[in-house]
Structure 1
Amino acid sequence: MTDLILHHYKTSPFAEKIRRVLAFKQLPWQSVNIPPIAPKPDVEALTGGYRKTPILQIGADIYCDTALICDVLEHRQPTPSLSPSSHKGLARVLAQWADTTLFGTAMAYNFQPDGAAQLFGQAPPGFAQAFADDRAKMGGIAPRLRVSDATTAYKSYLRRLATMLEDQAFLVGNTPCLADFAAYAPLWFTRVNVPSTAGILDATPGVLAWMDRMAAFAQEEAGRMKSADAIAVAAAATPIPLADEVFQDDHGIPLGSQVRVHAESFGLEATEGELVAATRMHLTLRRVDARAGTVHVHFPRIGYVLRKV
């Protein structure tokens, strides 16, 4: 049985990003279905507060944010690689743009009235409003584009992606990389979950062909678990020993301090714990939960705020 456990739900674009990466690398994984909106008590038992989707669990180690999850999967199985040897920096910067600007623009477009009606048409009464309230709470003070502005920007971004694909199969060459999986996810949401508004993609057939190439990386989960069973896995495990990496102190907060970590903009729920690692790329908090036991919760440094309690 694989030790990779993905906590996700079917329509999450960021979960789709990781599902495609797992398929690309042919890594088997266990699936735990989680709610799309709060409350998420089983998720928070593992993370201590963070509740964005997805999270990756390996025993008692909990990895938050798809940027970090991609790095973990790359380390687990270096080939095929997510980082092109000659354009690693470009791939990371483009992936970050896709995870933030492109994603926000696409979602503002996708949730126009026709799209929302299609998404929530079969949902229980009141779910659409509960979803909107939940995302508003997670978003904090982050501004949201109007549909008209999002439509204009989305069209431009699709044309730019099409230009990048004119002479190559993928965004940074002829093999997929981090940028491809990040950019694919919000476009997948448009194409698959809100087909009533997916006509915006038709003006860029090169992008549609690229999406078909990305969709070819497909793989079913190795098995399914209940969230309570995943918590039991964490409780029975010990966090993986931390790598001997240089402590990078940019905050004046020593290791061993009680700290809070939360996202810069969207997903402001904080995780509190003992700071046990702060490296060039990531932060690690040790925390103890009544159900999950002692866990290490890992975050990327970029996009997250570290504060002393």
Structure 2
Amino acid sequence: MSDLILHHYPASPFSEKVRLILGAKKLAWKSVHIPMVMPKPDVLALTGGYRRTPFLQIGADIYCDTALICDVLEHRQPLPSLYPAAEKGVARIVAQWADSTLFWAAMAYSLQPKGAASMWEGAPPEAVKAFAADRGAMSQGMTRLRPADATGAYKSYLRRIAHMLEQNDFLLGDAPCVADFAVYHPLWFTRHRTPAVADIFQATPVVLDWVDRMAALGHGAPEKMSATDAIAVAKASTPAVHPDDHFQNDHGIDLGSRVGIAAESFGLEVTEGELVAATRTQLTLRRVDERAGTVHVHFPRAGYVMRAVA
């Protein structure tokens, strides 16, 4: 069975979500650190355009977006499950809310001037400018909350999370599920990356207790790997076969067509390739790179758009 290779960087909140799931499932994994900002030549050699963090590599298969990565890890190690049988739909809906609405409120609050100053303390000014320019390019066209608006929203969301924890150790019961991991990572960012503004948690101590329980799950035992070695793994591997009997043609685009796939919002870079699979839950492109060879790049349907390329 091929290694799980996570391409990430330590300060990435969405990466923390996946790292914690890997720890909870006690999965062995290889850790490839990638740059926080462009250029990212080693990333693009594998993804072909997608540049959000993290992404998961298994041989010559590249999985984009943490929602899809969660499904892949669940398939690799079904227990403990991310999707409790009695609350499967609720868990996914809460996770989707956390990865979007909660996340952006937490970021707008955390990166107010006081928080940003603590995050970048000691960093050279050019690094701060590069990060701001990079994220500005990724968020073109988005409506971003101002810090004052984000503060009120974040406080409300923390109270709602506290209500969910009044009777249980975790959001939906006695064990963590995908909802917990998705809600955790924006709060982790506030607490650990912008500690100067982490006093927002003081009004909801039950949430802080839950945060500590989540953190105790750990990251397992990752093994460092270089980007060069990860690309070599892709080059030496063959992508998984995708039977076409599960083809769900919602776009009127046949398998074998050249298409482009991009996120609905934030990080709109397009990945182009040959459509080789379109199932109920994901889209898969085949692309060829000089360094990585033939790879399959996978995207979840939800949150992404696909268009034919002439």
Q: List structure 1 segments (4+ residues) > 2 angstroms apart after TM superposition.
A: 219-222
Which range moves more in the overlay, 222-231 or 11-20? 222-231
Determine helix, strand or coil for the equivalent of 1:202. Answer: helix
Task: Write out per-residue CA displacement over residues 161-199 of structure 1, whole angstroms, 9 at most, x where no aligned residue.
Answer: 000110111111111111000000000001111111000
TM-score with structure 1 setting the length? 0.98
> Structure 2, unaligned stretches of length 5 or more?
none
Shift of 1:221: 3.7
- Aligned position for 1:119: 119
Match of 1:249 in 2: 249
Q: Deviations over 1:30-64 (max 9, x none)?
A: 00000011110100000000000001000000000
Partner of 2:186: 186
1:227 and 2:227 correspond = yes
Count of aligned positions: 309
Structure 1, gaps ≥5 residues long: none
> Once the two structures are superposed, what CA deviation does each residue of 1:229-264 show, in whole Å capped at 9, x if it has no partner?
100110000001225652111111111110000000
Whether 1:208 and 2:188 are equivalent positions in the alignment is: no
- In the alignment, the residues of structure 1 paired with residue 275 and residue 236 of structure 2 have an alpha-carbon distance, to the nearest angstrom, of 22
Asked whether the equivalents of residues 282 and 299 of structure 1 are also in contact (C-alpha less than 8 Å), the reply is yes
State the distance in 2 between where 1:233 and 1:46 align: 11
Percent identical across equivalent pairs? 65
- Aligned partners of 2:225, 2:255: CA distance in 1, in Å? 35
Q: 1:249-306 deviations in whole A, cap 9, x for unaligned? A: 1111111110000000011011000001111100000000000000000000000010
1:96 aligns with 2:89: no
> Which residue does 1:164 correspond to in 2?
164
SS in structure 2 of the partner of residue 86 of structure 1: helix
Q: Residue 222 of structure 1: CA displacement? A: 3.2
Structure 1 residues 77-132: Cα deviation after superposition (integer angstroms, max 9, x where no partner): 10110001101000000000000000000000010001111111222231111111
Q: Which residue of 1 aligns with 2:110?
A: 110
Is 1:143 the counterpart of 2:174 in the alignment?
Answer: no
Kept in 2: contact 1:261–1:304 (CA 8 A): yes
Alpha-carbon distance in structure 2 between the residues aligned to 1:151 and 1:16: 23
3-state SS of 1:69 partner:
helix
Relative to structure 1, the CA distance from residue 183 to residue 243 in structure 2 (aligned partners, 3 Å threshold; closer, same or farther) is farther
Secondary structure of the 2:85 match is coil
Find out whether 1:40 has 2:67 as its counterpart. Answer: no
What does the per-residue CA deviation read over 1:128-172, in whole Å, with 9 as the maximum and x for residues that have no partner? 111111111111201100000000000000000000110111111
CA contact (8 A) 2:3 2:29 kept: yes
Query: Who is 2:6 aligned against?
Result: 6
Q: Residues of 2 paired with 1:2 and 1:240: CA distance?
A: 11
Q: What root-mean-square deviation, in Å, do the aligned CA atoms of Structure 1 and Structure 2 show? A: 1.1
